[in-house]
Amino acid sequence: MRFAVLILFACCALTARTLADDTKQYKTPAPMGTAEAFVDPGNKTSPATPTTPTAKPTTKPTTKPTTTPAPQPTPAANLTIGNYNLTVNKKVCLMAQMELQIRLETPKANGTFIVQPSQTKPSGECLETKANLTLSFSQGFITFIFHKKVPNNTAYADTVTVKLDYPFSKTGPNNYFATNNSLNLFAARIGYCYSCKKETVYIGNGLYLDITKDQMQAFNISNGEFGKPDFCPADQPDYRVAIAVGITLLVLIVIVLIVYLLGRRRRTAGYQSL
């Protein structure tokens, strides 16, 4: 009986020990942290905390529209004397020295274009009795055609042409062209130069050519120099005033002399001889 009790006691002790070991083996694990705090046991490097990139505001570059600027009027400039010569076979056959401006007068537009000698190139040809001079610049050209009349001993221009591409107004046209071939301009004796301080030539279509301080000679040029001047009618000396003043003075002198003689005669007649 005592032996059976011992066996029962041993079995109970063994059962209690087995339960204690099972309790230790299946102990409730500690709660795990968040996913960000989890560290892989096989990786000794601490993971970097992920950062969300900050989006920078994107600004579109402002592109300025590229527009071709409209041609603007020539800045105000002073009239400048230009020297325009033609040379054929190393000999000067036509010479011109002058200030030029093109003037427009129309109901739609008005203005003045000054020809700049530094931006103007002369060209043309000289024949036996005909010559032409063309003055070319970026906005257009001016052409003079000369003739030589040997029977009349005269050289002159009978045609002037003007072409101009210039915006005198925002709404009007920019292209102007005119020719006048019924002229008798710059007339001078052959071998002489035409000279004029100021004159205006109407070309047509509202275009005027203002010419100042002009010296011009076509044909029979000696040593590349202007001949003696033949003045335009406006510059020719006017002797009418001088003649009128001289006649007036002469009449006054005659009247004074007559009065003096009459007065002296009366005084002489008043005395009686003894």
**Listed residue (142, 124, 141) closest to 133, CA to CA:** 124
Gyration radius from the chain CA atoms: 56
- Which residues are bridge partners to 218 per DSSP? 94
Give the Cα separation of 134 and 147 in Å (integer): 15
Q: In a structure prediction context, what are the per-residue pLDDT tens digits for the chain, which is 274 residues long?
A: 555 545 555 555 555 565 455 544 544 444 444 444 434 444 444 444 555 555 555 555 555 555 545 555 554 578 999 999 999 888 899 999 999 999 999 988 899 999 999 999 999 999 999 999 999 999 999 999 999 999 999 999 999 999 999 998 887 778 999 999 989 999 999 999 999 999 999 999 999 999 999 999 999 999 889 999 999 988 877 666 678 788 888 888 988 888 888 887 776 665 555 5
Q: Residue holding tokens 């020295």?
A: 97
Identity of the amino acid at 118? S
Under a CB-based contact definition with an 8 Å cutoff, are residues 206 and 246 in contact? no
Rounding to the nearest 10 degrees, give the CA dihedral for residues 68, 72, 77, 81.
Answer: 80
Rounding to the nearest 10 degrees, give the CA dihedral for residues 237, 243, 249, 252.
Answer: -150
65: Cβ–Cβ under 8 A, 6 or more apart, which residues? none
User: Which tokens hold the place of 138?
Assistant: 């970026």
Domains of the chain, start order: 82-231 (2.40.160.110)
First-to-final CA distance of the chain: 233
Cα 69–75–76 angle (5° rounding)?
A: 160
User: Which tokens hold the place of 137?
Assistant: 């610049």
Q: Please report the pLDDT score of residue 62 as a whole number.
A: 57
Give the Cα separation of 133 and 146 in Å (integer): 8
Under a CB-based contact definition with an 8 Å cutoff, are residues 146 and 129 in contact? no
Identity of the amino acid at 260? Y
Q: Please report the pLDDT score of residue 245 as a whole number.
A: 83
Q: What predicted TM-score, i.e. pTM, was given to this entire model? A: 0.62
10 Å Cβ neighbour count for 49?
A: 6
**Listed residue (89, 85, 91, 115) closest to 102, CA to CA:** 115
